[in-house]
Every structure is written in C-alpha cells, then in structure tokens.
Structure 1
C-alpha cells in the first residue's frame, strides 16, 4: 500500500502491471528488444559526443590552442567528466529508485541524458562567448554522465533471469549489441554531414544535427524500457528482491572486494573500446592516411564486424564458459597490442585493417564483459552491485583512454598505445585469476 502522504511511482508501476495481467507473459525476446534499444540510446549519446570531441570541439571550443594536437587533447580532457559523474548519478538515482520507483528514476535520467546531449547542439563557440563555451560543454558532459548513472534499469539482469540455463552467454551478449549499433548510427550521421558539407557549413550548423537526434532516440528508448518495467515479470523480480535497489554503502559493506574485481575483469575490453572507436579517428584526422569522411565509413564497417564478434562471443561462452571467454579475449587483445601501432601508422590500408581486426577482437571480448562476476553478488545486492561495478569499470578502463592514448602517441610515438592495451589485458587476466581463486576457497 503506497502512502498518500509520500506518493511514489511504485504504486503507479504496480497499477501498470495489472494492465498486463491478462496478456501473455513477456518473452525473453521482448525483453531483449527493450534492452538493445535502451543500450543503443545510451551509447549513441556518448558516441555523438566522442566524435564531436574530434571533429568539432577542437575548432569550435578550443581555437585558442597553439596547434591542432593540443586542441584535441584539451577536448579529450573533458571527455572523462561523464565517467567521473556516473558513480555520483548511480548513488543519487538509487535513492530515487528506492523512494519514487524505477519508472520515475528512468524518466528523470533519460530526460537529463537526452537534454544534456541536445543542449550541446545549441552551444555557441569560443569566438562568441569565450571561456563560457568550455564551461558549458563541461557542464553538459557532466550531465550526460550523471544521467547515465540513473539510466541503469536492471533489464539486462531481468533478461539473464529469464534466460535458459545453457544459454546464459548468448543472453549476456545481447545488451552489448547496443554499443556497435549506437556507434554506427553516430558515425553514419557524422559521416553524412562531413561528406556532403563544406568545412565551414559543417562547423557552422551541420554538426549540430546528430546532437538533436539524440533526444528523439532517448524518448523512444524511454517508452521501450518503461513498458518492460511495468511488466508482471519485472514486478515479480522486484518482489523477490532480484532487482531491488539497495543503499550503495550497505552493498559495499558486503561486497567491496567483488566490486573491485568486477571493475578490473573487463579492463582489457574497456581499454580497447575507445582505442578502436574514438582515438583512431583523432589520429587519422591529425596525421593523415585518409580523410575523416572516408574513415568514418570504415568505422561503420568496423561496427558491423564488432556486432558479429559480440554474437559469436555468446556462442563461444555457452561452450567454454564466460570466464574462459573473457580470458581468451584478453589474450587476443594482448596479441593485437603488438601489431596495432604499426597498422595505425601504415597509411589507409593499415588503418582499415586496424579498425576491422580491432572491432572483431573487441566484439569477442566486450560481448561477455557485462556482469562478468555478477554471480559473486548475493541476490539481495545484485542490482546495486552490478550498477556500481559497471560505473567503476568504465571509469578505470575507458574514461581516460582517448586522452592518454593521444598524449602518449603524440609525445613518445604511436608504439606506446600497444603498451596501454597490454596493460589492460594483464589487469583482466590477473582479476580473472584472482576471482577464480576466491571462488575455489
């Protein structure tokens, strides 16, 4: 019974679930579609910003930099702000979830996420408002990350709960498909405008359209996710405390070691993530080999290859186990790290090979990176533990990757990105080994 004095959306969600009482049960396929739509919207927002941080912001926001490399590094310095704000968002929105319901939490979070991204479309340049342009861009980037912390909906866990026992790897990879789809959509939009507009028109107005689109995609994603949140299956999982939000510090008192391990297990794939999506475009733009327009279409092809790799990861994981699949992915990334710098510095064909091979390996690894050690969380704390673990994994593994990679490559040579990749692979192998040892105790 919901108190009238303290109304929450929990009562509204229970009423919505009653609407579904005469309907057929929500199938895993329907949950999967909602999960993919939700993840696609989140990744689209972040990739639109990531591509803008290479193609737009160095010229629009940081024209005062002494050279193009420094301007891009300044742009990349704002990139991690979203990942720093994300754990704060999780902390705040867990409280919203407990007090006002999952529907309210998602609505607020996705409005802030879409609004922050769309607001960038109206951002004046440095030549118009000076350093306020930098401050506003930083504010909107923080808004993206804060909102993403609240966009954690538990639908991937619901999908896992409804998955057949011998197909857990297959169902685990489905949410990860949102990454290549979101990246492909963002790259296609930018590729279209870069290819068909002059540099002056693109910087004046063309770049703004992908940021407008983000808000519309978030509205579609919101309705797709709320439909599942209002389902009987979701309600049953909530009643069983499978998807209940718990206080963050209470969860950490029970599972701090599991959170740390969970943050380091996917480090190889997360380090690889921005080294095949964001960093290579910056390197090509600054050092040549092919035009940005041509390279964006190569990256779209890479995203398709990455999606295939993610699907294959589900097949392989169901045969050898998710942990072994992650170990295989880390080893492949370590091997790739020796050839990656030479491919990226070998002109157009080498850069194409870097993207296609890199996305294939990323797909095989990233496909099983979500919830790699979620089984170590007790049922009571799984929802909150998985959310915070994901936040920290992205912060440690991916937040600073474009900035560090470009800084190292520009200062010391492209060979150093290989060292960055192999360090992530070593962390993943060590975390997987320690997790296995703890499980055997």
Structure 2
C-alpha cells in the first residue's frame, strides 16, 4: 500500500551533507513499522469482514449474501483513498507535513479502533452497517493521508544496482501486518466459544490498532520532520504538485502506472481474504485451521518479497513484474482444482499464491513512476497507487465471491488472468513509449 518514487541519485547525499545524516537503517525501520501498522489495520478489518460482520451486521441475509454486503463495505476504503490523497496533500501544503501525518494516522487508528465499539444489527438495525461504512471510509482517508515519502528516501539512498533491494523493504509491512492480525484472530477463535467471540472477542484486535498506530506515528514523524527530508522537499524531489494540473499534464502516465501492478493487487486479496471466505463458507474448514495455513503462507510471502529484491537487481524490476504476471496467469488455471480440493490442495494453493504474490508485490509499488517528471512525481506516485489498489484489489473479494458462488471457481481464475493481462499490457505500452521517446 506504499508508493515508490525514483529520483535523481545523489539528492540524498546533498541533503544529508547540508542538514545531517539520515541512515538507511533508520529509514528502513520507520518504513517497515509504518507499513506494518497500515496493513495491520486493513487485515484486521479484512478478516473480520469474513468471520464477524456478515453475522453481526447483515444477519438477515444468507451467509453468502451477507458476506457480499460485508465485502461491499470493505471496498469503500479503496474508493476513499484517491479523495484522501487530494484532501491531505492540501492539508500538508497549508499546515505542514507533521500536522498532515498526525491527523492521518489518528484518523486511521481511530477509525479502526472505533469499529470495536460498534453495535450490532440486533441492537440498532441498519444503523450498524452505516456506522461500519463510515469507519471504513475513515480508514481509507487516513491511509491516503499517511503517505510520507519515506519509501522514496530508501530509493533515493539506494546504491547503484540496489534499487530492487531497497524497493522491496516497505512491502515487508504486508506479511508482518497480516501475521499479527491473523494471529490475534486465530487466538480468539481457538480459545473462545463462538458466542463469546461474536459478542466481544472480535473487538480486541481493533482495540490494538490505535496503540500500533501511535507507535508508528512517532517512528515516522522522527524522520519525516528531519532537516534532510525537509531539504529534499525544498529541492522539489518530493514536493507535491496540484492534483488536477498533474492529471492534465501527465494523466496518461497515471493510467499506465495504475494498471501495471494489477496482477499483484488482484492476487493480494484473493489469497488473503477471499480464500478464507471460501474455506469457511463452502468447505466446512474451521477458521482457526485456515488462519494458521495463511500465517505460514505469510512467511512464504515475506521470503519471496526479500527474494524479489535480489532478483530485480539482476534482471530488472519491470522484467520481474512481467515474468511474475505470466506465472500468475499460469497459476490461475489451477485455481478451480486447488481451491476446490481438500485441505492439502488448498494449502498448496495458498503457499504458491503467497510466493507468487511476494515476487511481484515486492517490486510492484511505483514500478512506472519514473515516467513522471520530477515536478509531478510525488503526486503522480500517490494517485497512481491509489487507483491501482482501487481497480486491482478493492473489489477483488466481492467480485471473486460473487462470480464463484454463481458460476464456479473457474471464474476466479479468469479474474486473475485479467489482472495478469492488464499488467503485461501496461508494461508493453510503457516499453513502446520509452522506445519512441
């Protein structure tokens, strides 16, 4: 959920020479902590959208329809993200980066924590669903505003031939955030009766979100407000530009960049959220068992993200994205047999899926943002990522469940193939544009 911006080499050195040194280790730690907190918030909601909300917020519907409504609310955060980027960029210009980030992270954490206090449908009727939707929009707005540019500092500070290695570091927040969220839910579904879990146990992971975001806030503010970072903004290497001016001047680059990571983003929520939904709704597998399988998959995801940094520095980031998209297309053909099989087949589906996700997700963020001129790169990267998540991941669980419940699991494979085709087409078009320049 992060953005990656390429910028002229040496900018970081000039900034640190003038205003003190910011070490890559400090930047990496702040980036990983920040991304982990963001993904933790979103995965806590994602898991609850399968195990909790269909029963508490939409109990008048059958389990499949209730889950579809839950996934519809899930998508609202991704709809809100581009709006949040526009709002918080303006806040940053008027009141400064510290104010912007503080408001954004408190909004993100508060929206997540507020969900833990929500009443159920049995208590207030449809008002419960509307309150849930409002909190979900708050999560999306807060996540957009939490964009801090620290991932860009890593990229700017990358030694020659190490861009892929530095690009993968922020992406490690995804497996770490998922592991924490899944472990919390696995604990409560294991040791609590279902009645207690649905009454109060599910609320504790949401309580934790606020504390996690406070830690992330201070870790990131320490660097975002540093003189070195400020100097980079002053040189316009990381300066925000007016959104509509950027779209008018370089909207084509936004469109191409938004479609480049679709293979990765479509797979992202299919292997984490949709598979949990399918297993609990249609196979009778208990949530605890499948969460543990997914936690093992998250370890594969982390290892594959690290491997993507090594591979990308040898063959190129875009080449790795292309080959990974092709591998996802092949993998999608086996979806009906693996996901529709027994526990062993589903475990194979999860582990292979998480591994492929790591290889492509590790290098997917901002892979084409170097197309933007330096004036528009900061704003272009933010909106490109927002749109990519909206198109590729926001509606993925909803679409996959809707199609598979009516037409079968082969449609999930078709959905994955469409994402792979979009990625390959975007990379091809970008290559032609570069060759013609």
Distance apart, 1:290 and its partner CA: 2.4
Distance 1:144 1:205, change over 3 A: same
2:11 is aligned with 1:52:
no
Distance 1:271 1:114 in 2: 25
From 424, 433, 437, the equivalent of 1:438 is 433
Shift, 1:233, TM fit: 2.1
CA contact (8 A) 2:19 2:227 kept: no
Tell me the residue number matched to 1:195: 190
Structural mapping, 1:129-140, within 5 Å = 129-140=124-135
Q: Is the 8 A contact 1:63 1:71 kept in 2?
A: yes
CA contact (8 A) 1:98 1:246 kept: no
Task: Select 1:227's aligned residue among 205, 222, 229.
Answer: 222
Could you tell me whether the CA contact under 8 Å between 2:298 and 2:354 is conserved in 1?
Answer: yes
SS of corresponding position for 2:375: helix
**TM-score, structure 2 as length reference:** 0.95
1:296 aligns with: 291
- Offset of 1:165 from its aligned partner? 2.1
Tell me if 1:143 matches 2:123.
no
1:103 paired to 2:98:
yes
What does residue range 394-433 of structure 1 map to in structure 2 within 5 Å? 394-433=389-428
2:307 alignment partner, one of 301, 305, 312: 312
Residues 353/73 of structure 1: CA separation in 2 closer, same or farther (3 Å cut)? same
Deviations 1:274-306 (A, max 9, x none): 010000000011012521101001111100100
C-alpha distance in 2 between matches for 1:367 and 1:314: 7
Q: CA RMSD in A?
A: 1.3
> Residue 393 of structure 1 aligns with which residue?
388
**In structure 2, what is the equivalent of residue 33 of structure 1?**
29
Q: Quote the Cα distance in structure 2 between the aligned partners of 1:245 and 1:97.
A: 9
Alignment pair present for 1:370 and 2:365? yes
- Cα deviation, residue 309, structure 1: 0.5
**Contact 2:164–2:312 under 8 Å retained in 1:** yes
Whole-angstrom CA distance in 1 between matches of 2:250 and 2:153: 21
- 3-state DSSP class of the match of 1:26? coil
CA contact (8 A) 1:103 1:229 kept: yes
Q: Which stretch of structure 1 is more off in the superposition, 230-239 or 40-49?
A: 230-239
Counterpart Cα distance in 2 of 1:154 and 1:22: 19
| 2:180 alignment counterpart | 185
Q: Deviations over 1:11-31 (max 9, x none)?
A: xxxxxxxxx999961111110
Report the alpha carbon displacement of residue 232 of structure 1 after superposing the two structures with TM: 2.6
Residue 251 (str. 1) matches residue 246 (str. 2):
yes
CA–CA separation in structure 2 for the residues paired with 1:390 and 1:42: 15
The equivalent residue for 2:208 is: 213
Q: Which of 350, 353, 359 is equivalent to 1:355?
A: 350
TM-score for the superposition, normalised by structure 1: 0.94
Gapped regions of structure 2 (runs ≥ 5) = 1-15
8 Å contact kept, 1:289–1:348:
no
For residue 338 of structure 2, what is the aligned residue in structure 1?
Answer: 343
Deviation at 1:242, TM superposition (A): 1.1
Q: Deviations over 1:253-293 (max 9, x none)?
A: 22101100110000000000001000000001101252110
Work out the CA distance in 2 between the residues paired with 1:73 and 1:313: 34
Corresponding position: 1:379 with 2:403 = no
Cα distance between partner residues in 2 of 1:340 and 1:169: 30
Separation in 1, partners of 2:327, 2:97? 39
With CA pairs under 8 Å and 6+ residues apart, which has the higher RCO, 1 or 2?
Answer: 2
Partners of 2:329 and 2:416 within 8 A in 1: yes
Alpha-carbon distance in structure 1 between the residues aligned to 2:39 and 2:19:
32
CA distance in structure 2 between the aligned counterparts of 1:382 and 1:178, rounded to whole angstroms: 23
Runs of 4+ off more than 4 Å: 20-24
SS of alignment partner, residue 174 of structure 1: helix
Give, in angstroms, the shift of residue 77 of structure 1: 1.2
Distance 1:267 1:196 in 2: 38
Q: CA deviation at 1:374?
A: 1.2
Instruction: Summarize deviations over 1:109-162 as a string: whole Å, max 9, x none.
Output: 000000000000000100001110011001000111111111111111111111
Matches within 5 A, 1:43-192: 43-65=39-61, 67-192=62-187
**1 CA distance for matches of 2:175 and 2:123?**
35
The secondary structure found in structure 2 opposite 1:228 is helix
Number of residue equivalences:
421
User: For each residue in 1:291-334, what CA deviation from the matched residue of structure 2 results, as whole angstroms up to 9, or x when unmatched?
Assistant: 11010011111001001111111101000111101001101100
Distance 1:165 1:386 in 2: 22
